[in-house]
Amino acid sequence: MEQNKEKKKHSIETLLYIIAIITFLITFIPNLPSYVTTLLYLDTILLAGYEILFEGIKNIFKLNFEEDTLMTIAIISAYILGEFTEACLVILLYKLGEIIEEKAVNKSNQSIQKIVDIKATNANLINGEEIKVVDVKELKIGDSILIKPGEIVPVDCKVISGNSSIDTSNITGESIPITVEAKAELKSGIINLDGKLIATVEKTFEDSTASQIVDLVYEAQNNKGKTEEFITKFSKIYTPIVIILAVLIAVIPSIIGFDMSVWITRGLVFLVAACPCSIVISIPLALYNCLGSISRKGILIKGTKHIEDLSKSKIIAFDKTGTLTTGKMKIDKIEVSENHTEEEILKYVYALEVNSSHPIANSIIEKIKEKNDSIKLEEVKDYKEIAGCGICGKVESKFVLFGNKKLLEKYEIPYKKLQENKNYLVVNNEIIGNISLKEEVRNNIESLENELSKLGIKRIAMLTGDNEKNAKKIGKELNIQEIYAGLLPKDKLEKIEELKKEGKTIFVGDGINDSPVLATADFSISMGEGTEIASDTADSILISNNLNTIANSIKISKKTMKVMKINIAFSLITKVIVLILGIIGYAPIWLAVFADVGVTLLTVLNAMRIR
């Protein structure tokens, strides 16, 4: 309803503006009576600028000196002085600038609005054999819901039955659909593409991913950066000073005997040219576009105030487990004894691990299925799990052990030499092979170090509580030379404080133990899969969990700061030149309009490049 009203209002304003232009062009018809042209000029001003004039006059009485106030004073003064053409040009060009600015802002809003629209409003609640459409806020943890093809997943949930392809681009920025089936976890805001899914609610609407993302977007829009706050304060002080100076330029020369109309005109030129709208509009727009662009890459930044710190960062430190790695283990190498096969090793390990509740078990099972999806699940009898050692049981009437050196010693299995980082498979007291595991590094981050270095990041470090051997292994794989291992949360905090002394520092982490460091770093990033407290503490959230996005975000933030500096410099230089020319009488009002509206349009277009 509100959108329809806005569209209608915009259509009426556009129509009136077109009529105003036509009316202004009619004034150039030769031999028109002077009273007709005077009325046509007045019609042009009122049709194009009735809203601006109304707001400007209100502001004059309230002593609220804003952009509309400056324009109103300039237009009314020019009209009284008989500078009808100039008065019309001021309002027509100013209005044109407003229309283009509005379109630019609407475009930058689109990416933000897409994020806001990811929240579902209704859900299909399963109540026995009945399916009832309810408000998504009514869902409770444990409820069963039906997600139809084409629907947005309403809350964070786990699939009970069904399979489908899902589009996760709203949440992760990843455009390639993925397949889900029973036991898959779904984040709210993603789209179910082609199959029906029945799922169990795991989080309420308020606590679900989509709601948290939308809350972050609104928070980001309200958190202004230092530059943006300075511009806002600057315009409030600058505008009244401009009006006072314009009045002095018009009045003082007239008092001491100079031509009053000439100096009033010069005062008007000063008033129009000095208007700060090019800076006031383009700076927030640039920052707003930056937030939108980075959010499309999969990072949500909690406000423009963090963009400057991100752009100036020289050092980046990563947590290891759950950040550089997925937190899961993967099969690194399989070694097979003579007269045995790899398939035989996988068959026995798979049979045992299916029964295990150990976190590593799921990782091994997934990797075995990926490696050989034809392996059949054998029945296990007398299954037993020995804490800190491994697992055992009877498979095909054979006694099978799978675990470390301690397990073999416990069952007095003869061996020559064993390595600490390997898990051995024993069948009927004979070692027939071993499997070594390693942490699973996140996808496609092997070139991350190189990309960050290109963007001016001087130091890349790993801060981890894990032992030095494991840390160095991951560091070598990712080409990270600076490694600090065996750190407690307090040690991590001290290390970040130390790094900050050498330059702006980014920290990327995911766990509760990372929260103090996330709060201390100049710019902090919490993994989207991380803990709630880490997400609350960090300056941004990596929703996509794709670490390569960090390099893209730094690049966008640097481009934004560069665009802002160019816009400020271009605006000030142009205005100073026109102001000087105006005071000495070489700048007509139309040039002053260009110094205001023209420069605003150019800076707005420059800000739009960030998208």
Active site amino acids: 319
Residue 317 has φ and ψ, to the nearest 5°, of: -120, 135
Alpha-carbon distance 584 to 578, whole Å? 10
User: 452, 461, 451, 448: which is closest to 509 by C-alpha?
Assistant: 461
Query: What single letter denotes the amino acid at residue 399?
Result: F
Give the long-range contacts of residues 419-428, CB within 8 A, separation 24 or more. Answer: 422/335, 423/390, 425/345, 425/348, 425/349, 425/400, 425/401, 426/400, 426/401, 426/402, 427/348, 427/398, 427/399, 427/400, 428/398, 428/399
Give the long-range contacts of residues 6-13, CB within 8 A, separation 24 or more. Answer: 10/102, 13/51
Check if the beta carbon of residue 375 is closer than 8 Å to that of residue 347: yes
Residues in Cβ contact with 594 at an 8 Å cutoff, skipping those fewer than 6 apart: 93, 578
Alpha-carbon distance 229 to 447, whole Å? 37
Would you give the distance in Å from CA 58 to the centre of its chain?
39
Secondary structure (3-state) at 587: coil
Alpha-carbon distance 479 to 140, whole Å? 46
Query: What single letter denotes the amino acid at residue 537?
Result: T
Alpha-carbon distance 14 to 51, whole Å? 13
Residues in Cβ contact with 351 at an 8 Å cutoff, skipping those fewer than 6 apart: 377, 378, 379, 380, 393, 395, 400
Q: Give strand ranges (E) for 93-222.
A: 122-127, 130-135, 144-147, 157-161, 164-167, 178-180, 185-186, 191-192, 197-201
Check if the beta carbon of residue 517 is closer than 8 Å to that of residue 463: yes
Residue whose token pair is 């009002």: 589
